[in-house]
Structure 1
Amino acid sequence: MPRIKVPERILIVKPSSLGDIIHTLPLLGLLKKYRPESEIDWVVSRGFEGLLQGHPLIGSCILIDKDNWKRPERSLKTLSEFIRLFRLLRERRYDVCIDAQGLLRSGLITLFSGAKKKIGFSDAREGAHLFYNTKVQGGRNIHAVNRYLKLLTPLGIYPEEIYFPLNHIVEKRPVDGPYYIVIPGARWQTKLWPSEYYAQLIRLLSHKAPFSEMKPILVGATSDKQRAQKINQLSGGEAFDLTGKTDLKELCSIIKGASFVITNDSGPMHIAAALNIKVFAIFGPTSPALTGPYGSNNVVLTAGISCQPCFKRSCKDLKCMYELLPERVFERILTDYISE
């Protein structure tokens, strides 16, 4: 009696953050393209699962509470989760585990997986590289998407066409008629373009066709609500404010229906780029070459001052943001959008 061939089981470890998870999606798509019979699971932190649960290429999302792992007062709960996770991963009997996070936590998860082939970056931090038996030279001076794709080389996969597998996202339009999205939030204070600049930009757009026929929609996390309210007030109430009112899956659906997106360097920026929605991205302390919106359809705007990029999370004057005036952003949107 012939033996039944068991599908290859692959585990991707990329718990966070939003932008990094988006950047890892091309790896998922190419894995499934070249290993179509494989079963692929993904370890993800709670709060980010909305992007991956129900994805047609993913078998199971394995959730972790990564924030608990950082808190000594929750050590017993963390230990309990470690044991639960260890048992779950060993039951799955993975053949391959790919650690795209490269930190101690993800390295331990890779070890727990018991996979025969444990792939990770040779320059992974916090000692994570000690848990891999297959190490890849990633490089720090290339875009994150291309860096993560290097993790496929030990499997004999060399990407030719890079794509983001997000066809399962269903468009959901929050308003009648065309709209564009404004994303004024970011995790770093130094990435925040001034609220008054966003308000001025919305006012400029509202008086110029074809943008005057589009509704500006503000989106973001609950922590961005105060900024969004200030922007809407300063712009004369032009915008429809959905800040803090959408979950991750709903946010993706709303972005998919937008005409274009104006944004700081943020996680939702990467969602828009992955969905092939035109992005006008405002960059200050970070590098567009490393973590900018992926794809030639997008526009990055910077002040172009000598200290950029500095990668600092605090700054006394934020010249890189204040010297990029709303009139300049408006002119660029006008030129690029109408030229299409």
Structure 2
Amino acid sequence: MAKYLIVGPSWVGDMVMAQSLFSRLKKDDENAIIDVIGPAWSAPILARMAEVRNAITLETGHGEWGIKTRQKLGKKLQAEQYDKAIILPRSWKSALVPFFAKIPIRVGFHGEQRFVLLTERRKLDKGILNQTVKRFTSLGVEQNKAYPPTPLINPKLLVDQDNQMHLLSQLNLSKDKPAIALMAGAEFGPSKQWPLKHFHEVAQHFINKGYQIWVLGGPKDKEDADKIVQDLGAYAFNLCGKTKLVDAIDLLAYAEQAISNDSGLMHVAAAVGTYVHGIYGSTSELFTPPLTEKKTIHNLHLDCSPCFKRNCPLGHTNCQNDLTPDNVIKTV
């Protein structure tokens, strides 16, 4: 029985995809104990992963060094006597807690010259490990099986049906109409965002077809969501800022389909079994696909994409603007 400490990623979608690693560790050793370090927001998501024993919160902001905080946490974790640490981020600071915890085996990819901090520095072969999920999973297997690792296990988040029913009542959502969830936000930047007017047109179409529309996102997405549901009537709901991240798990599990930018919530929807329509342009479904068989990918595959830039370097964002609502509507 091995005892693992995993240093998790800092983005919602990446943390969901990291569950593939946790599942692989459990497949290879059903008695494995897995604890995961992550930002405070990740604890409720990690609680919905059956493979994870403990979610450990690192009390530093995104991008902060916080060396003293990491040293304090590492020393505290020495008592756990972990057998192995797997460090998913490639930054120098991300390897500090396992080092201070004196974990004997510390595995991660080459990055920022982590010679002392890691005991095993793996080559990141981007040609073979061409997806985030492959990179994460590869660190959990022996090197001779890592390029690429197989099998890849899709994430599967646990759903709290009691909370689901509570949310439907609390938010006055319809229990009689099928729901389509729209996720119009993208933390990465505007190049990943399908136009709001396109989301609005899709929402209008399915309201007319007898669906209810839920727009999900954080507080900063509320204003955009208001534009999507404007004048659509009683069955178009702007839920941005009204729910916690963990609530989105249960709501997305209830929805019949989800239409989403390449975002963290898209990966949440995939992990709860909802049919996903993923909209790509500046990023690629070849690198970060929704990890489910129940999906349709929408991508114009223009010559200038994917550019992986936060803002369109050509100033037109045609990869998003020219993907018309009809293209999505006919597949839904």
Residue correspondence of structure 1 range 45-124 to structure 2 within 5 A: 45-53=39-47, 55-67=49-61, 70=64, 78-122=66-110, 124=111
The answer for the alignment partner of 2:123 in structure 1 is 137
How has the CA–CA distance of structure 1 residues 139 and 238 changed in structure 2, closer, same or farther, with 3 Å as cutoff?
farther
Q: Over aligned residue pairs, what C-alpha RMSD do you find?
A: 2.1
Q: Does 1:170 align with 2:169?
A: no
The answer for the alignment partner of 1:319 in structure 2 is 318
The answer for the alignment partner of 1:191 in structure 2 is 192
Shift of 1:255: 0.7
The answer for the alignment partner of 1:150 in structure 2 is 138
SS at match of 1:30: helix
The answer for the alignment partner of 1:304 in structure 2 is 301
Of the candidates 27, 34, 41, which is equivalent to residue 28 of structure 2? 34
How has the CA–CA distance of structure 1 residues 180 and 318 changed in structure 2, closer, same or farther, with 3 Å as cutoff?
same
Which runs of 5 or more residues in structure 1 are unaligned?
1-6, 72-77, 334-340
Q: Distance in 1 between matches of 2:49 and 2:95?
A: 25
SS at match of 2:38: strand
Shift of 1:238: 4.4
TM value normalised by structure 1: 0.85
Q: Distance in 1 between matches of 2:116 and 2:283?
A: 29
The answer for the alignment partner of 1:3 in structure 2 is none
The answer for the alignment partner of 1:219 in structure 2 is 216
1:97, 1:113 within 8 Å by CA — same for their partners in 2? no
After superposition, the C-alpha distances for 1:103-147 in whole angstroms (9 at most, x for unaligned) are: 12212223223111111113x3x3346522223334324121122
Q: Which amino acid aligns with 1:127?
A: Q
Shift of 1:267: 0.2
TM value normalised by structure 2: 0.87
1:98, 1:118 within 8 Å by CA — same for their partners in 2? yes
1:119, 1:135 within 8 Å by CA — same for their partners in 2? yes
The answer for the alignment partner of 1:278 in structure 2 is 275
Shift of 1:64: 0.9
2:75, 2:101 within 8 Å by CA — same for their partners in 1? no
1:50, 1:247 within 8 Å by CA — same for their partners in 2? no
1:12, 1:42 within 8 Å by CA — same for their partners in 2? yes
Shift of 1:221: 0.6
The answer for the alignment partner of 2:229 in structure 1 is 232
Shift of 1:55: 4.1
1:202, 1:238 within 8 Å by CA — same for their partners in 2? no
2:20, 2:154 within 8 Å by CA — same for their partners in 1? yes
1:184, 1:228 within 8 Å by CA — same for their partners in 2? yes
SS at match of 1:70: coil
Q: Distance in 1 between matches of 2:286 and 2:117?
A: 30
Q: Which amino acid aligns with 2:97?
A: I
Q: Which amino acid aligns with 1:135?
A: R
Shift of 1:206: 2.5
- Which segment drifts farther, 172-181 or 133-142? 133-142
After superposition, the C-alpha distances for 1:180-238 in whole angstroms (9 at most, x for unaligned) are: 1010111111111111111011112223xxxx232111110111000001111154564
1:8, 1:95 within 8 Å by CA — same for their partners in 2? yes
2:207, 2:236 within 8 Å by CA — same for their partners in 1? no
Q: Distance in 2 between matches of 1:321 and 1:68?
A: 28
Q: Which has the higher helix share?
A: 1
How has the CA–CA distance of structure 1 residues 264 and 45 changed in structure 2, closer, same or farther, with 3 Å as cutoff?
same
